[in-house]
Amino acid sequence: MSSAVRVRELNLYRRYFDLVAAGRKSIEVRVRYPHLADLAAGEVIRFRIKGTEESCDVLVKRVTAYDDFEALLDGEGAANVNPTASRDEQLANIRAIYPPEKEAFGALAIEMQLIKT
């Protein structure tokens, strides 16, 4: 029986990847898609920049579901999601990535810790 930790690969935009890789971003925001419904503390996420070989691994510390992105930003603190942008800027950026029909699934806050390699 294997005790290997499951590693999920997710794409990330450069500006967010750089914050994660520097250890400055502790909360990743995702839509509550069915394929992420069972994401749990203890798993590893390998973030990639699409079309490159660049990646970094994080340990999932906690996953919290929210009804929408505003509730997530209020609950988690905007600075933990992106220390370089205001709450309003972040909300606009997130909604530019995920339109209303995606946000309707709900939002996930993934608390993470960079795994130094």
Task: Sort strands 7-11 and 55-66 into parallel, antiparallel or unpaired.
Answer: unpaired
Has residue 72 been placed in a domain? Answer: yes
Q: Helix or strand or coil: residue 7?
A: strand
Has residue 1 been placed in a domain? Answer: no
Has residue 2 been placed in a domain? Answer: no
Residue that the structure tokens 């509550």 belong to? 32
Task: Sort strands 44-48 and 55-66 into parallel, antiparallel or unpaired.
Answer: antiparallel
Has residue 65 been placed in a domain? Answer: yes
17-61 pLDDT tens trace: 999 999 999 999 999 999 998 999 999 999 999 899 999 999 999
Has residue 20 been placed in a domain? Answer: yes
Has residue 101 been placed in a domain? Answer: yes
Find the mean pLDDT for residues 92-116. Answer: 96
CATH number, domain of 89, equals: 2.30.130.30
Q: Which pLDDT belongs to residue 4?
A: 72
Q: Which pLDDT belongs to residue 100?
A: 96
d(CA 90, CA 102): 16
d(CA 99, CA 66): 16
**Domain total of the chain:** 1
Cβ atoms of residues 78 and 53 within 8 Å:
no
List the domain range (segments joined by +) for residue 58.
7-114
d(CA 17, CA 25): 9
